[in-house]
């Protein structure tokens, strides 16, 4: 009886807050909070190991180094330098994410010694043959989606917010994504990707989070499973470094050729 009164009281106390916010507003608020908590990392570098698996369980490995630069008031910039397989060693991609217009992207091909621009529309294709699309790996700007808060839920007894988000870019490969965001640290633990016909296509699970500089949380492992093709890809991150002194000029088209 006491318990019931208490919970009723708690509900009454919360009610005005709940009423004041539509599910859309609440979803957006969660996204904004998550984004805010990652502000100020300045720059970072890391090694990414990509393990591709086909339906029969056969594996293939790729190695990429990643450098990111925080940009005030716009999307982040990033460089991906391919180390393996050997025949694409030295190939480097540069991405400028934007919050208000399509991302820009270039690729440097060492065999041709040329920089090539990549069509801005085609960011939903697979990244290096993996189950990750460019748009899954790229910087997750708040403005790239609209949001809708669904419910609270526990994953492995960790309380999360479940938020649906809808890509604003018409060239996105997805109709929607459902994101499980840890309430405590505002980290996306799990994302379900629904294809254009609104069928579940892939599930991403993030784990092994480590905190850097007492603030920034990064997952050491991302596991993407494609439910339709039976294929999967694991990303393993290591050697995270923050505030290494990277400059904006390191993320220019001209700098692409100089990457090693």
Partner 1 sequence: MLERYAHWIVRFRWLALLISLLVVGALASGGRFLSLTNDYEVFFGESNPQLAAFKNLQDIYTKNDNALIMLEPKDGVVFSTETLQAITELTDAAWSTPYSTRVDSLSNFQYTYAEEDDLTVEDLIEDPASLSEEELSKIQDTAMAQPLLVNRLLSPAADVTGVNISFELPTENADKVPFEIMDYLDAVLADIESKYPNIETTRTGVVPMNKAFAESSMRDIKTLIPTAFAIILLGFMLLTRSFWGTVGALAVMLMSIAAAMGTAGWMGIVLTPPSANAPTLILTLAVADCVHYLVTFFQQLRSGKDKFSSIRESIRVNFNPIFLTSVTTAIGFLSMNFSDSPPFHDLGTITAIGVFYAFLLSIFFLPALTAVLPIKAPAVRSREKAGFMEKLANFSINYRKVLFPVVGLLIVGLIAMIPRNELNDEFVKYFDDSIEFRQDTDQIGEKLTGMYFVDYSLDSQIESGINTPEYLNQLEAFEQWLEEQPEVLHVNSVSETFRRLNKNMHGDDEAYYKLPEDKELAAQYLLLYEMSLPYGLDLNNQINIDKSATRLTATLRNLSTKDTLAFENRAQEWMTNNTPDLESAGSSPTIMFSHISKRNINSMLTGTVIALVLISLILLVSLRSVKYGLLSLIPNLVPAGMAFGIWAIFNGQVGLSVSVVIAMTLGIVVDDTIHFLSKYLRAKREQGLGTEAAIRYAFTTVGEALLITTIILTAGFMILAQSSFSLNADMGLMTAITICLALFIDFLFLPALLIWLDKGKQDDLTDGAVVPAT
Query: Footprint of partner 1 on this chain (CB under 8 A)?
Result: 52-56, 58-60, 82, 85-88, 91, 93, 105, 107, 109-112, 114, 116-119, 121-122, 124-129, 133-134, 171-173, 196-197, 199, 228-231
Q: How far is the CB of 113 from partner 1 (least distance, A)?
A: 11
| Residue 86, phi then psi, degrees to nearest 5 | -60, -35
53 C-beta neighbours (distance < 10 Å), count: 18
Alpha helical stretches, state H, the chain: 2-20, 23-37, 134-137, 253-256
State the Cα–Cα distance between residues 210 and 44, nearest whole angstrom.
Answer: 14
State the Cα–Cα distance between residues 77 and 86, nearest whole angstrom.
Answer: 25
Q: How far is the CB of 46 from partner 1 (least distance, A)?
A: 20
Q: How far is the CB of 135 from partner 1 (least distance, A)?
A: 9
Q: How far is the CB of 227 from partner 1 (least distance, A)?
A: 9
Q: Between 21 and 225, whose beta carbon lies closer to partner 1?
A: 225
Q: Between 128 and 187, whose beta carbon lies closer to partner 1?
A: 128
Q: Between 32 and 200, whose beta carbon lies closer to partner 1?
A: 200
Q: Between 127 and 149, whose beta carbon lies closer to partner 1?
A: 127
State the Cα–Cα distance between residues 156 and 58, nearest whole angstrom.
Answer: 29
Query: Which of 258, 253, 249, 259 lies closest to 43 in space, CA to CA?
Result: 249
Q: How far is the CB of 16 from partner 1 (least distance, A)?
A: 42
Q: Between 9 and 129, whose beta carbon lies closer to partner 1?
A: 129
Q: Between 60 and 259, whose beta carbon lies closer to partner 1?
A: 60
Cα dist from 251 to 76, 105, 200, 246, whole Å: 10, 11, 35, 9
Q: How far is the CB of 29 from partner 1 (least distance, A)?
A: 30
3-class secondary-structure state, position 121: coil
State the Cα–Cα distance between residues 63 and 89, nearest whole angstrom.
Answer: 9
């Amino acid at each position: 009886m006491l318990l019931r009164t208490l919970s009723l009281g708690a509900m009454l106390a919360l009610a005005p807050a709940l009423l004041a916010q539509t599910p859309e507003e609440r979803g957006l608020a969660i996204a904004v909070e998550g984004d805010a908590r990652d502000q100020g990392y300045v720059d970072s570098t890391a090694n990414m190991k990509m393990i591709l698996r086909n339906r029969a369980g056969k594996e293939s490995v790729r190695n990429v180094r990643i450098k990111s630069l925080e940009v005030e008031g716009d999307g982040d910039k990033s460089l991906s330098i391919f180390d393996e397989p050997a025949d694409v060693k030295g190939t480097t991609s540069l991405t400028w994410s934007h919050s208000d217009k399509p991302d820009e992207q270039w690729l440097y091909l060492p065999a041709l010694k040329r920089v090539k621009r990549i069509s801005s529309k085609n960011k939903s294709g697979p990244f290096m043959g993996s189950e990750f699309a460019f748009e899954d790996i790229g910087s997750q700007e708040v403005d790239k989606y609209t949001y809708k808060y669904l419910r609270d839920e526990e994953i492995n007894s960790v309380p999360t917010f479940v938020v649906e988000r809808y890509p604003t870019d018409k060239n996105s490969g997805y109709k929607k994504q459902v994101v499980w965001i840890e309430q405590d640290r505002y980290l996306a633990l799990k994302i379900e990707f629904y294809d254009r016909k609104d069928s579940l296509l892939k599930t991403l699970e993030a784990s092994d989070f480590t905190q850097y500089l007492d603030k920034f949380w990064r997952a050491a492992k991302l596991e993407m499973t494609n439910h339709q093709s039976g294929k999967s890809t694991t990303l393993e991150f290591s050697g995270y470094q923050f505030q290494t002194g990277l400059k904006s000029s390191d993320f220019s088209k001209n700098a692409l050729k100089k990457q090693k």
